A and B are shown apart, each in its own frame.
Chain A
Amino acid sequence: MDFEFTAEQVAIRDTIRELVQDRVAPRAAEIDAKSEYPKDIETLFAENGILGIPFPEEYGGISGSSVTICMGIEEIAKACASSSLILAVQALGSYPILVAGSEEQKKRLCPPLASGEKVAAYALSEPGSGSDAAAMKTRAKRYGNEYVLSGTKQFITHGSVAGTLVVFAETEPGTDHRGISAFVLERETSPWIVSKIEHKLGIRGSPTAQIVLEEVKVPASNRLGEEGAGFKLALAVLDRSRPGIGAQALGIAEGAFDYALNYVKDRQQFGQPISSFQGIQFMLADIATQIEAARHLVYLSATKADSKAPDLTKTAAMAKLFASDMAMRATTDCVQLLGGYGYISDYPVERMMRDAKITQIYEGTNQIQRVVIARALLR
């Protein structure tokens, strides 16, 4: 395995790092306080090609590499977890097209996403179907050259702002997961209804929507893969997106740690910086070690996604599990390092702690990751 990034990847990361410092970091507290989707940051990412990272050049993008996507997500999440989801969900919503789309579909659907003209979203969960995704109720009935979709999708990140929505639905109800198919909905021609926006513990700048599909017509040419291949695709997509959630968790932890490290060097108590106390030093050492371990697992899993390694499923689940648990612990400890100041919104670490929690829950809860890992081990 190669521990070095390519020169091109480093150049992309440095560009993102600079943009994030100049334009994203100063907005992060406000985005959280107002619970607003940062359209300005979306535009900034579009203009600078960041939304094109998930796509290979032939589809209008600049990379298509999971490692590069993770680098981008990590950099953005250091300052603003909500903004990092603009890239992470662009990747998540595009993977189904890139993995299962025909050449015609990729050529038609990807360029507007790669240019950032549109953002994508991914609709799998339902009110009665979370960890048990195969229990979904959304129906897709075929009438000639089109399908008609009806149902409700829950916890859809960016479902309210997306122009392209990948939806999983039952084409053959009564069967198990083999009756599920995947569709690409384009908002202009296949409009969906946003029935609710959740108010959440964290990642408040990233709208989480409940979506209602009321007899939405979708051309058959927008079905991804064969009928009945949807569930397998959903899982394959999650294998590719989980390294990205690991990268997000990693970035959140690094952002909080960077702030806390400077704080403890600065904060004087008992006539010396609190960083001179061994109790504080041990906390710093533990957090830094955990971050380092998580980083390697995240990039190993991204490397495996790029090389289509046979054990990607297991490693991606491990990376997501370990990095998100690490981020929750690390951010909680970073709040602790700032004491009372850590608990108030004048300082960024309380936001980062609230943001970290969701990384243990979405794209498969950490309980599901354990199930996936155990299944891979016991097979």
Chain B
Amino acid sequence: MVQPLAAEIDRDHRFPQEAIEAATESGLMGVLIPREYGGAGLDALAFAICIEELAQACASTAVIVDVHTSVGTEPILLFGDEEQKRRWLPLLASGRLLGAFALSEPASGSDAASLKTTARRGGDGYVLNGTKVFITNIGHAGLYVVFARTGPDERAAGVSAFLVPADTPGLRVGQIFHKMGLHGSPTGELVLEDARVPAANRLGGEGEGFTIAMRALDSGRIGISGQALGIAQAAVDEARALMRERGHGQGDDFSLADMAARVESARLLAYHAAWLCGRGRRFTCEASMSKLHATDTAMQVALDTLQIAGDDGAAAGSPFERHVRDAKALQIYEGSNQVQRVVIARELLLG
């Protein structure tokens, strides 16, 4: 269902509606959501494997499901009150609502704590103003987890998290970006102009937003690792098939062996981080190591397999060139790999 669409949605820059419907029917939209809220009640390791499998077929479909499941849903799962969970989780688990995560802003990327979007108290709720950027699932999401400044503190302590339904007046989709890859997964700006949400839509306490965002990203990095593994494995498998068909010298053999060893090491790193997460242990450092290593591996493997494929691999529509374009995004989003190094070093030096 997913794989046959991969080349077409890439070519046409089209949202893979059928693939997402199929994922919904298989219960993939609620993998992490407990059964009492309509989900499958599985753990982070199962989630990583789901995303890995999806990404082997189509990296765009994988990131749509990943963002929905991890950063789009987990903040409610981990920080929502009972009423919020009952209201939103069944809708997200059933796929009736697609989730999204709105943290970055034009001037606030790696430095997320400097965000400028404001949430002013007004009446019995909040009024949100600002522009969010690089929002995955833009335009298709039914619910955005939006981070905005409520307090006077100019850094992390002033940030709160809000659940903002897509039909909120004052919420609109801005520019949709034309990207190098992941063409099936829309990315763009979320513009908030006097968008009003009830106080019941604030997630956690005022000032808790940054903590929520960072915890969501820790899990999110497990999902992105799964996506990286899927792309890398698909590329290795395709290169292997090509070599069997076409013949191979020792240069290609060594390249294949290096790639397979790297993918295997990245897989174990990712599964270990997911396993720690599932057991409720600290996993921040492991998740960052996993994201860094798995996404660097996916990029290198995508480039090396395209090299093995040669001219034919560079023709548009070939999976080899698509993997290169798709893999690059992974080194950038959910914390650039520079930010992962900052996190890892901080954990090592202060932990």
Contacts and interface: CB of A to CB of B under 8 A. Distances in A.
B214 interface: no
Interface stretch (A106-114, A236-244, A337-345): A337-345
15 contacts: A200-B314, A201-B306, A269-B110, A274-B110, A280-B338, A328-B303, A336-B331, A336-B332, A340-B109, A340-B133, A343-B180, A344-B187, A345-B177, A361-B307, A367-B249
Interface string A324-342: 0000100010011001101
A366 interface: yes
Interface in A337-374: 339-340, 342-346, 350, 353-354, 357-358, 360-362, 365-367, 370-371
B324 A279 contact: no
A155 B310 CA distance: 11
B321 interface: yes
Contact of B332 (A198, A270, A342, A371): A342
B316 interface: yes
A257 B178 CA distance: 22
Interface string B322-341: 00110011011100111001
Interface residues of A, number: 42
Interface string A247-259: 0000000000000
B328 A332 contact: yes
A131 interface: yes
A199 interface: yes
A130 interface: yes
Contacts of B107: 268
B97 to A, nearest CB: 25
B310 A357 contact: no
Interface string B93-131: 000000000001001111100100000000000000000
Contacts of B187: 344
Contacts of A346: 177-178
Given A280-B338, A336-B332, A336-B336, A357 B180 contact: no
A345 B180 contact: yes
Contacts of B321: 200-201, 357
Interface of A: 125, 130-131, 154-155, 198-202, 268-271, 274, 277, 279-280, 328, 332, 335-336, 339-340, 342-346, 350, 353-354, 357-358, 360-362, 365-367, 370-371
Interface of B: 104, 107-111, 114, 133-134, 177-181, 187, 249, 251-252, 299, 303, 306-307, 310-311, 314-317, 321, 324-325, 328-329, 331-333, 336-338, 341-342
Contacts of B178: 344-346
A200 B313 CA distance: 9
A35 B162 CA distance: 43
Contacts of A130: 310-311
B190 to A, nearest CB: 14
Given A201-B324, A268-B107, A280-B338, A344 B179 contact: yes
Given A268-B107, A354-B325, A365-B307, A336 B338 contact: yes
A340 B134 contact: yes
Contacts of B317: 199
